[in-house]
Amino acid sequence: MNDNFAKDVLVGLTAEYKHLSSKYFYDDNGSRIFQEIMKMPEYYLTDAEFEILSMQSKQIFEALKFSKPFNIIELGPGDGFKTYKLLEYLVNQKVDFKYLPIDISQEAIDILSNTLNQRLPELKVEPRVGDYFEVLSDIKDSDSPSLLLFLGSNIGNYKTDQIIELLKLFNDNMKLGDKLLIGIDLKKNPITIHNAYYDKHGITKRFNLNLLLRINRELDADFKIDDFDFYCHYNPDNGEVKSYIVSLRHQKVHIKKLNKIIDFEYNELIWTELSKKFDFDEINDLAQRSNFKVNTNFLDCKHLFTDSLWEK
């Protein structure tokens, strides 16, 4: 049993306002469902970031200004679909670098490694499974400069104080002159954001309810999935999309490994995810508060998304 998972589930489901951390979405099945989400036509984030990394690889490389061989360290690469175009450009230009993808999912890392070995056999890949910061602290002692990739707007899944804490941890595990390329979703027409997250296909619902299946499997619980639904809401004033699991009836769920019975009211919510959107003033503020300097904001053609390059 994963002790952190058990503890966080217990704390979240016994709180006054129930909540579960989105970081637990990404078991192997959750990672597969998220690949489906990224392929939805309404989910603009994937295409916008893919465009940036495909069309502006040269500009990104030139902005790094690294004068010797370097590392590209990607935190949570998933299937590597977006990063591939940047890696392909660098390999074709005979740039001397190593790619170190870090993910908590062994399956995701295995699939990524196999794909890259087949499609880019010249690429030097050193995959790692585990905690970002354990791996980063090992690499920090290297003489090579590093580019950290934190793509896919993952930064928007944290509250502001947590974002600053995370970015400061990145900063602490980087050397002076290292760079961070961070994917950030921008504030835009609320209808565009609503359509991306409200999920008329039901895939995001499956993604959320998979978390209940994980609790059933790992903590021996008896959640009945048909008795729960999915809801999300976008607030254009503060840029926050919030996602919830909704209890469709009054019910009790027994989580045997926690020796706990959880009571759910009719229509009670479990908050599962925050997906924050930013403007450029907020991006500059985040960088400043976490001891980074914004170098360049690379934008897609519709200005929906930015890969923002920061420097320590």
How do the domains of the chain map onto residue ranges? 3-41+195-276, 44-188+278-311
Question: In the prediction, which pLDDT does 78 show?
Answer: 77
Is 297 exposed, middle or buried (CB count within 10 Å of its CB: 0-12, 13-18, 19+)? middle
Question: In the prediction, which pLDDT does 137 show?
Answer: 75
> Which among 286, 266, 265 has a CA at the least distance from the CA of 276?
286
Strand-pair category, 124-125 with 146-150: unpaired
Alpha carbon distance 85, 64 (integer Å)? 17
Beta bridge partners of 243: 232, 273
Beta bridge partners of 220: none
> Which among 158, 183, 155, 149 has a CA at the least distance from the CA of 45?
183
Question: In the prediction, which pLDDT does 272 show?
Answer: 97
Question: In the prediction, which pLDDT does 133 show?
Answer: 77
Question: In the prediction, which pLDDT does 55 show?
Answer: 96
Which residues touch 8 (CB under 8 Å, ≥6 apart)? 20, 21, 24
Residues of the chain below pLDDT 50: none
Which residues touch 62 (CB under 8 Å, ≥6 apart)? none
pTM assigned to the model? 0.89
- Say what angle helices 83-92 and 57-64 make with each other, to 10 degrees: 70
Question: In the prediction, which pLDDT does 31 show?
Answer: 86
CATH code reported for the domain at 44-188+278-311: 3.40.50.150
The one-letter code for the residue type at 241 is V
Which residues touch 7 (CB under 8 Å, ≥6 apart)? none
- The conformation of residue 204, written as its DSSP 8-state character, comes to H
- The conformation of residue 260, written as its DSSP 8-state character, comes to E
> Which among 3, 7, 158, 134 has a CA at the least distance from the CA of 73?
134
Instruction: Reduce the DSSP state of residue 112 to 3 states and report it.
Output: helix
> Burial letters for 76-85: b for 16+ Cβ neighbours within 10 Å, e otherwise?
bbbbbbbbbb
What are the tokens at 196? 């991306």
Is 190 exposed, middle or buried (CB count within 10 Å of its CB: 0-12, 13-18, 19+)? middle
Instruction: Reduce the DSSP state of residue 273 to 3 states and report it.
Output: strand
Question: In the prediction, which pLDDT does 1 show?
Answer: 64
Question: In the prediction, which pLDDT does 247 show?
Answer: 98
The one-letter code for the residue type at 86 is L
Alpha carbon distance 53, 298 (integer Å)? 9
Alpha carbon distance 279, 305 (integer Å)? 10
Alpha carbon distance 214, 280 (integer Å)? 37
Alpha carbon distance 119, 169 (integer Å)? 33
Question: In the prediction, which pLDDT does 76 show?
Answer: 87
